[in-house]
């Protein structure tokens, strides 16, 4: 009880401190309202996405989530998804053709990096990062794709997809575990 009286007394003596704290909390709330995810449209990326959907569908995967997103160069796009222990997932990121570097990092619930992939412009399918993953625990995971573009800083189109294997094939191998 004495501690709360101390804080109350401090705030009464220094109203400017109280006002500053309130102002900071209001600014923080309004800044969070400004951040909005916007979709994008790119016919070349859409053609690749359609081909990838068809390919993974024929391989026994079902599309769980997908999104086209306008990205900013050198800024990660956090994608949080719940994954089930023992299920086979395929994560795909398709970046803008004009970017020079593409990376995806994936973290488990304890913020341990479990997957890292990097591609550069000029690599075979350089703007596509795709990896399989079978989680050891049922928990949320976060994928963070990023692309670097020296000419365009804003409005880079990116596309993310998450597939889940429905048909089990005993001969298949999984990378990125």
Compare 132 and 170 and report the one with higher pLDDT: 132
Across 71-81, average pLDDT: 94
Residue 40 near residue 67 (C-beta atoms within 8 A) = no
pLDDT band at residue 123, thresholds of 50, 70 and 90? confident
The listed range with the strongest mean pLDDT (11-20, 89-98, 120-129) is 89-98
C-alpha to C-alpha distance for 8 and 85, rounded to whole angstroms: 49
pLDDT at 141 over 90: yes
Q: Which residues contact 95 (CB under 8 A, 6 or more apart)?
A: 71, 102, 127, 128, 129, 145, 147, 156, 157, 158
pLDDT tens digits, residue range 13-63? Answer: 554 444 444 444 444 444 455 556 788 888 999 999 999 999 999 999 999
CB atoms < 10 A from the CB of 119, how many? Answer: 21
Higher pLDDT, 21 or 108: 108
Please give the residue that has the higher pLDDT: either 22 or 150: 150
Which residues, at least 6 apart from 155, have a Cβ–Cβ distance to it below 8 Å? Answer: 40, 70
Percent of the chain, pLDDT > 70?
73
Strand duo 61-71 + 79-83: pairing: unpaired
């Amino acid at each position: 009880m004495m501690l709360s009286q101390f804080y109350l007394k401090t705030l009464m003596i220094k109203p400017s401190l109280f006002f500053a704290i309130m102002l900071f909390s209001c600014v923080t709330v309004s800044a969070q309202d400004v951040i909005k995810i916007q979709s994008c449209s790119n016919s070349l990326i859409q053609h690749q996405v359609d081909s990838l959907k068809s390919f993974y569908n024929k391989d026994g995967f079902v599309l769980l989530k997908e999104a086209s997103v306008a990205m900013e160069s050198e800024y990660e796009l956090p994608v949080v998804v719940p994954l089930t222990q023992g299920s086979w997932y395929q994560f795909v990121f398709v970046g803008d053709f004009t970017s020079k570097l593409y990376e995806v990092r994936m973290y488990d619930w304890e913020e341990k990096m479990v997957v890292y992939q990097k591609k550069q412009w000029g690599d075979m399918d350089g703007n596509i990062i795709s990896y399989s993953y079978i989680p050891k625990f049922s928990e949320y995971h976060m994928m963070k794709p990023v692309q670097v573009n020296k000419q365009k800083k804003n409005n880079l189109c990116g596309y993310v997809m998450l597939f889940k294997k429905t048909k089990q094939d005993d001969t298949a191998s999984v990378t990125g575990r």
